[in-house]
């Protein structure tokens, strides 16, 4: 059975429109689920793989004023709040502010603990370093989601190309 080019073109257009209509929602929900899930894990001692480096980072950034246990409670609450905000879609500006501040904090171990985040600095990250670097995608997702808080939308084709 041969599929003609006109059918493929129509399918491609419909698929592209569908992705433009739903992409931001899926992005917001998926990042929200990640934050909710990882944040929830931090409420339980010795469950989160990021617990050790996160607590030491917060202790160092707070000059020892915030203990490891309190750091995890704050981080768990912060991340679950971001997750709920992204999933619900409410208070997106405030949620994205929390996200970007949290992301700045998550990148600091690369500089504070390079021996733990790289096997060869700055080219070969450890597993913890890779875990931190994936946050660049989350930062980009936050930027894309942030572009929609004033009504911005993805377009499936340039405005002059839509028929």
The enclosing H or E element of 125 equals: strand 124-125
User: What's the whole-model pTM score?
Assistant: 0.89
Buried b (16+ CB within 10 A) or exposed e, 27-63: bbeebbebbbebbebbeeeeebebbebbbbbbbeeee
At residue 126, φ and ψ (nearest 5 deg) are -75, 180
Q: Residue 43 domain-assigned?
A: yes
Q: Answer whether 75's CB lies under 8 Å from 84's CB.
A: no
User: How many domains does the chain fold into?
Assistant: 1
Does 93 map to a domain?
yes
- Residue 136 inside a domain? The answer is yes
Per-residue pLDDT of the chain (163 residues; tens, 9 = 90+): 566 788 888 898 899 999 999 999 999 999 999 999 999 999 999 999 889 999 999 999 999 999 999 999 999 999 999 999 999 999 999 999 999 999 999 999 999 999 999 999 999 999 999 999 999 999 999 999 999 999 888 888 765 555 4
The residues pairing with 125 across neighbouring beta strands, listed in sequence order, are 118
Residue 17 lies in a domain: no
Q: Beta strand 124-125 with 118-120: parallel, antiparallel or unpaired?
A: antiparallel
Confirm whether 160 is domain-assigned.
Answer: no
Q: What is the pLDDT of residue 22?
A: 96
In a domain, 120, yes or no: yes
Q: Decide if 108 is inside a domain.
A: yes
In a domain, 162, yes or no: no
**Residue 33: domain span:** 23-153
């Amino acid at each position: 059975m041969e599929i003609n080019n006109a059918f493929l073109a129509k399918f491609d257009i419909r698929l592209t429109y569908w992705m433009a209509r739903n992409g931001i929602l899926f992005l917001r929900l998926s990042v929200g689920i990640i934050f909710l899930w990882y944040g929830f894990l931090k409420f339980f001692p010795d469950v989160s793989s990021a617990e050790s480096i996160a607590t030491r980072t917060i202790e160092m950034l707070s000059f020892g004023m915030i203990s490891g246990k309190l750091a995890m409670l704050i981080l768990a609450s912060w991340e679950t709040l971001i997750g709920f905000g992204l999933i619900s879609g409410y208070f997106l500006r405030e949620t994205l502010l929390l996200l970007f501040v949290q992301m700045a904090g998550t990148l600091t171990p690369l500089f504070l603990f390079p021996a733990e985040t790289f096997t060869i600095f700055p080219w070969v990250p450890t597993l913890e370093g890779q875990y931190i670097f994936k946050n660049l995608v989350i930062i980009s997702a936050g930027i894309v989601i942030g572009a929609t808080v004033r009504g911005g939308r993805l377009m499936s084709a340039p405005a002059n190309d839509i028929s």
